């Protein structure tokens, strides 16, 4: 089992830093955000499994030569109150760390989902009281607020898309259609579940730098996926201008003005001449910049062989650690 533990340890180290760092810096992810999102999920799941599996196998080495026998031996020894003579402190610490880390990640995931569901129910109640339905648009609610705000509010059987009066005053009809299509894509594609999983990972390991990077990267990817859905409803320039207008208005939290509209046009024009990777998406303004640049510099999705290769890599990331653990 020592070989299997070492292999899983190497995989865990690779997936804890160099691999996700390379993916976060890759240019191709904007071309095929869905493929990149699959890879991020595979990295997170495989990294967690490899880390826990490596600690578990190393801790079980004194108890047997394979995983099944070792688990049975541990159970029997705990009931008898004895340990094998060659059990060292490192084995006990590794076994305890595996159990604690696995329980911590699972309990934190459960707590994050329960907390989010409670907040969503409370938010739905507030929206029902403080907003009005949008005429001719089922599931749309209009909030009387000057800031240009649009967001989706998922829920079992009663999802809603919330727009503010400030947004409706700022954007024209086509731009509003683009925003609605974007928000509805979040609901249909269940992006909130993906975001919650990575939020849980980050909150469970706040000291782990790659968890923060992964959460930011995934947040940008789901926005790009929703943008791709909105592109079927309006042209790229209309969507890009809507994103720029809302981003600039929120940055200054000012009333819509001619100068603000001119600034949005300038931002879109600047993005159309941008080349290379933009700033890291730690700040919402960076997300706006990257999304607008992507729309104004249209590139083809990954070619079929590259897409197949990326998805095969994701499948391997999920299966290899599991096979190593089960074959130990």
Report the relative pairing of strands 160-164 and 150-153 from DSSP bridges. Answer: antiparallel
Per-residue pLDDT at 197 exceeds 70: yes
In this prediction, what percent of the chain has a pLDDT beyond 70? Answer: 90
Write down the domain spans for the chain: 1-87+302-328, 119-297
The predicted pLDDT at position 180 comes to: 96
The predicted pLDDT at position 320 comes to: 97
133, 140 Cβ separation under 8 angstroms: yes
- Tens of pLDDT along 254-305? 444 445 555 556 556 555 555 443 334 455 677 999 999 999 998 899 999 9
The predicted pLDDT at position 286 comes to: 79
* Continuous segment of H or E residues that includes residue 109: helix 89-130
Range in 7-16, 105-114, 271-280, 302-311 the model is least confident about: 271-280
- Tens of pLDDT along 66-104? 888 898 898 888 888 888 888 999 999 999 999 999 999
pTM metric for this prediction: 0.90
- For 139-155, what is the mean pLDDT? 93
Q: Residue 112 — pLDDT band, cuts 50, 70, 90?
A: very high
The predicted pLDDT at position 279 comes to: 36
The predicted pLDDT at position 264 comes to: 58
* Continuous segment of H or E residues that includes residue 142: strand 140-143
Cα–Cα distance measured from residue 119 to residue 122, given in angstroms and rounded to the nearest whole number: 5
**302: DSSP letter:** P
Per-residue pLDDT at 176 exceeds 60: yes
Give the residue with greater pLDDT, 225 vs 64. 225
* Reduced 3-state DSSP string for 198-257: HHHHHHHCCCCHHHHHHHHHHHHHHHHHHHHHHCCCCCHHHHHHHHHHHHHHHHHCCCCC
Nearest to 30 by CA among 306, 277, 284: 277
Mean pLDDT across the chain, nearest whole number? Answer: 90
């Amino acid at each position: 089992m020592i070989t299997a533990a070492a292999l899983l340890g190497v995989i865990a180290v690779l997936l804890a830093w160099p691999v996700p760092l390379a993916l976060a810096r890759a240019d191709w992810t904007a071309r095929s955000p869905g493929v990149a999102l699959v890879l991020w999920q595979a990295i997170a799941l495989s990294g967690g499994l490899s880390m826990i599996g490596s600690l578990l196998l190393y801790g079980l080495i004194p108890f047997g030569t394979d995983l099944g026998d070792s688990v049975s031996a541990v159970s029997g020894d705990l009931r008898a109150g004895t340990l094998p003579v060659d059990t060292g402190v490192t084995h006990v610490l590794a076994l305890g760390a595996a159990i604690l880390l696995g329980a911590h990640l699972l309990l934190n995931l459960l707590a994050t989902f329960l907390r989010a569901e409670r907040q969503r129910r409370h938010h739905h109640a507030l929206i029902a009281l403080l907003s009005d339905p949008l005429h001719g648009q089922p599931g749309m609610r209009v909030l009387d607020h000057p800031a240009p705000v649009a967001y989706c509010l998922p829920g079992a059987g009663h999802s809603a898309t919330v727009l503010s009066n400030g947004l409706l005053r700022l954007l024209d009809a086509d731009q509003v259609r683009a925003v609605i299509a974007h928000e509805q894509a979040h609901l249909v594609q269940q992006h909130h579940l993906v975001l919650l999983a990575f939020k849980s990972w980050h909150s469970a390991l706040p000291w782990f730098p790659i968890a923060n990077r992964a959460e930011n990267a995934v947040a940008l990817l789901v926005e790009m996926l929703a943008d791709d859905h909105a592109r079927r409803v309006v042209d790229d320039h209309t969507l890009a201008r809507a994103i720029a207008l809302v981003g600039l208005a929120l940055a200054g939290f000012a009333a819509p003005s001619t100068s603000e509209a001119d600034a949005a046009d300038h931002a879109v024009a600047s993005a159309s001449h941008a080349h290379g990777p933009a700033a890291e998406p730690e700040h919402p303004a960076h997300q706006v910049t990257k999304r607008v640049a992507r729309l104004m510099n249209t590139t083809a999705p990954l070619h079929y062989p590259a897409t197949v290769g990326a998805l095969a890599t994701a499948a391997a990331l999920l299966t290899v650690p599991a096979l190593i653990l089960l074959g130990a």
